[in-house]
Amino acid sequence: MSDHSAGRIPNALIAETSPYLLQHAYNPVQWQAWGTAAFTEARSRDVPILLSVGYSACHWCHVMERESFENVEIAALMNAHFVPVKVDREERPDVDSVYMNAVQMMTGQGGWPMTVVMTPDGQPFYGGTYFPPDDRYVAPASSGC
């Protein structure tokens, strides 16, 4: 067990094989992998899905994890109001492509980490790239990898 995970309870990503997904297995965000279970939960709870797509070599993906996904208060908000779903773009280029197109149409730009808020049926209604935990950067949907 690494210092990063010492004393922490893993989320559902602990059963995944992707190094990127496993990197997020000890976040306080209750991440799920892309799949039927996440969409079923979103429908039963009547909450949107918050999709986060990234990859292991993405600098801003690591920054967003450190600043937001490891933050207990932010994680509590995400867990209460969304079904959080994490996708490795290198393992699921099909999912990445669909939602990157949506983000580019919504914002005029794209990159990673990519964040998309969608209905329990997978229809995106909000999206962007790197979202900092506060307003210290120019725009919340600005630079990504």
CATH number of the domain that 55 lies in?
3.40.30.10
- Give the pLDDT confidence of 64-90 residue by residue, as tens digits: 999 999 999 999 999 999 999 999 999
Residue 6: pLDDT band (50, 70, 90) is low
**How far is residue 5 CA from its own chain's centroid?**
19
Contact 20, 88 (CB under 8 A): yes
Contact 130, 65 (CB under 8 A): no
Q: Supply the range of the domain harboring residue 123.
A: 12-128
Q: Does the residue 136 lie in any domain?
A: no
Q: Does the residue 6 lie in any domain?
A: no
Q: Say how many residues make up the chain.
A: 145
pLDDT at 132: 84
- List the single range of 4-8, 28-32, 41-45, 87-91 with lowest mean pLDDT: 4-8
Calculate the average pLDDT of the chain: 91
Q: Does the residue 4 lie in any domain?
A: no
pLDDT at 13 exceeding the cut of 70 = yes
- Give the pLDDT confidence of 94-110 residue by residue, as tens digits: 999 999 999 999 999 99
Q: Does the residue 2 lie in any domain?
A: no
Q: Does the residue 45 lie in any domain?
A: yes
Place of tokens 């280029």: 93
Q: What's the total number of domains in the chain?
A: 1
Q: Does the residue 44 lie in any domain?
A: yes
Q: Does the residue 133 lie in any domain?
A: no
pLDDT at 143: 45
Contact 29, 63 (CB under 8 A): no
Helix (H, G, I), strand (E, B) or coil at 17: coil
Q: Does the residue 91 lie in any domain?
A: yes
